[in-house]
Amino acid sequence: MPPMSNEAKPPGAETLLLRHVRRLGAVRPGQRAMFFHLSRLQPHHRRDKHLQIAANMLDEVVRRFSGRLFRLAGGDLVVTCKGARRKTLEGAIELLRYLFSDDPLAQHDDSGDEFCSLFDLEHDYDRFFALVQRLDEVQAKRAATELEPRRAGAPRRQRRPLDPEHLGDILGIVNRADLSSVMRRQTVWSLPPDATPQPIFEELFVSIEELGQALAPDFQLANDRWLFQYLTQALDRRVLALLTREYPAATRSLSLNVNVATLLSPEFSGFEERLPMRARGNILLELQLADIWSDFGAFVFAGHVAKQHGYRLLLDAVRHRALPLIDARMLGVDYLKLVWDDALLALDAEDELELRRALERLAPVRVVLMRCERAEAVSFGQAAGITLFQGWHMDRLARGQAL
């Protein structure tokens, strides 16, 4: 066998992307590309696990629109596809923006979108090709001169972010503290047109803001999504312990925010053992999309077992732009929470029709419009065929009906 040093080195992702884009030059109509500038994320948001989850969340676009995905050396992601509407791709961008929502890069900025560049290759091909060619040249120069990868920039200064060093201390505080003072409930209401609000179930959750103020005032608990996930797993266990004692006093169905890992934990098994069998059908398990995609195989197994045991599943906090890309029936969920956004009031006729069709395709999954703080949100939801709502406006409306 010849020495390893004499073997041809496989081409890098930048070179493969450049070759692919050259081929696209002959078939430009209908071709689009998304360039996610994830190399600009803060280092603690740019770990390999995070980038892999981001790539997984783009699988639906790649599958539906004959796409290709490239993970570049610095962490950037590039997707090319054919036949996708701009609004569909904007939905995919929102999915990843949600995944990295704790990072300043993912925040909307009127000066331009530094998070993702979107290209229509029928018109922007030359600009996109020049970008890809420049990236390939830079990467080739790095490899030739054995330079260290250029840093994506110094971390932006933040006030006492949650970090691994302090996470253990905070977990200890959480495990010892009385959480009853920061437990909150909010009702999901049924409100068809020309009807009065009727309670359907209550969401039981820990107020993270109040928890932080009470137990860790010097830290931003939700600053790092991935460390925060470890914290919420500890909170899951505490909530299960509280619920075991308090469930007999529950007046209606409850929904719980849980991690997939929690459903596979001994604590959840112990909770089940103490829970009356008939009560399982009255409990909804709320799951986050990012948590699902972090280990999809674990979710499929945990979700199947949960459904077999009588629980119902709820997919939490989906943005309207991402809705057409989510196959809620394939995920096996019974409910989906759609986040209210004032931008919904500005949809043109075509986009509003697409949203209605996306909602219709969800059936029999039931949609809850969440964060309804204004009457306009409820009116919009009712016009779109939604009958389940959650938010302060609904709570005030129900109280007014009761007076």
Kindly tell me if the per-residue pLDDT of 121 is higher than 70: yes
Instruction: Report whether pLDDT(119) > 90.
Output: yes
**Cα 19 versus chain centre, distance:** 32
pLDDT-derived band of residue 248, with 50, 70 and 90 as boundaries? Answer: low
Contact in structure between 85 and 77 (CB atoms under 8 Å): no
Enumerate residues 6+ apart whose C-beta is below 8 A from 322: 91, 92, 94, 95, 98
Tokens matching residue 240: 């299960």
Our measurement of the distance from residue 62's CA atom to the centroid of its chain's CA atoms, rounded to an integer in Å, reads 18
Which tokens is 29 given?
A: 């109509």
How high is the pLDDT of residue 246?
Answer: 63
Q: Is residue 155 part of a domain?
A: no
Query: pTM (2 decimals)?
Result: 0.71
Considering the domain architecture, whether residues 326 and 218 belong to the same structural domain is answered as: yes
| Spatial separation of the C-alpha atoms in residues 142 and 139, rounded to whole Å | 5
183 phi and psi, to 5 degrees? -80, 135
What are the beta bridge partners of residue 256? 204, 285
Domain-located, residue 395: yes
Q: Quote the tokens at residue 226.
A: 């991935």
Per residue in 100-115, pLDDT (tens digit) is: 988 889 887 655 578 9
In a domain, 169, yes or no: yes
Q: Does the pLDDT at position 134 exceed 60?
A: yes
Kindly state whether residues 255 and 141 are assigned to the same domain: no
Q: Do 228 and 136 share a structural domain?
A: no
Of all residues in the chain, what percent carry a pLDDT higher than 90? 42
Higher pLDDT, 181 or 331: 331
128 and 187 in a common domain: no
Q: How many domains does the chain have?
A: 2
Angle CA 200–204–209, to nearest 5: 135
pLDDT at 380 exceeding the cut of 50: yes
Rounded CA separation 235/43 (Å): 26
Question: pLDDT tens-digit profile of 87-96?
Answer: 999 999 999 9
Q: How confident is the model at residue 138 (pLDDT cuts 50, 70, 90)?
A: confident
Binned at pLDDT 50, 70 and 90, residue 74 comes out as confident
Is 253:200 a contact under the CB 8 Å cutoff? yes
| For range 331-344, the mean pLDDT | 93
CA distance linking residue 154 with residue 156, whole number of Å: 6
The conformational region for residue 371 under phi > 0 = left, psi -120 to 50 = alpha, else beta, is left
My answer on whether 106 and 251 are in the same domain is no
Q: Is the pLDDT of residue 5 over 60?
A: no
- Residue-level pLDDT at 275: 80
Q: What is the pLDDT of residues 145-204, one digit of tens each?
A: 543 433 344 344 344 677 777 777 777 877 777 777 678 889 999 999 888 999 999 998
- Strongest mean pLDDT among 46-60, 99-113, 323-337: 323-337
Cα–Cα distances (Å) from 206 to 171, 179, 181, 233, 236, in that order, read: 15, 8, 9, 12, 9
- pLDDT value of residue 218: 73
Tokens of 184: 């909150």
Helix or strand (DSSP H, E) at 190: strand 183-190
Q: Hey, what are 253's tokens? A: 């169905």
- CA–CA gap between residue 152 and residue 38 (Å, rounded): 9
Query: pLDDT grade, residue 228 (50/70/90)?
Result: confident
Q: Which pLDDT score, from 0 to 100, does residue 4 have?
A: 41
Residues 170, 81 share a domain: no
3-state secondary structure of 402: helix
Where in 207-280 does DSSP place strands (E)?
Answer: 253-257
Q: What is the pLDDT of residue 160?
A: 67
Q: How confident is the model at residue 264 (pLDDT cuts 50, 70, 90)?
A: very high
* Assigned token pair, 194: 């020309």
Helix (H, G, I), strand (E, B) or coil at 205: strand
- In contact, 51 and 78? CB cutoff 8 Å: no
State whether 104 and 173 are in the same domain: no
Model pLDDT, residue 359 = 93
Q: Are residues 327 and 373 in the same domain?
A: yes
Residues 196 and 127 in one domain: no
On whether residue 52 sits in a domain, the answer given is yes
Residue whose structure tokens are 């949809």: 347
Write out the residue range of the structural domain in which residue 58 sits.
Answer: 8-145
CATH assignment at residue 261: 3.20.20.450
Tell me the average pLDDT of the chain: 84
142-156, 195-209, 382-396: which has the minimum mean pLDDT?
142-156
The answer to whether position 178 is within a domain reads: yes
| Residue 207 lies inside a defined structural domain of this protein | yes
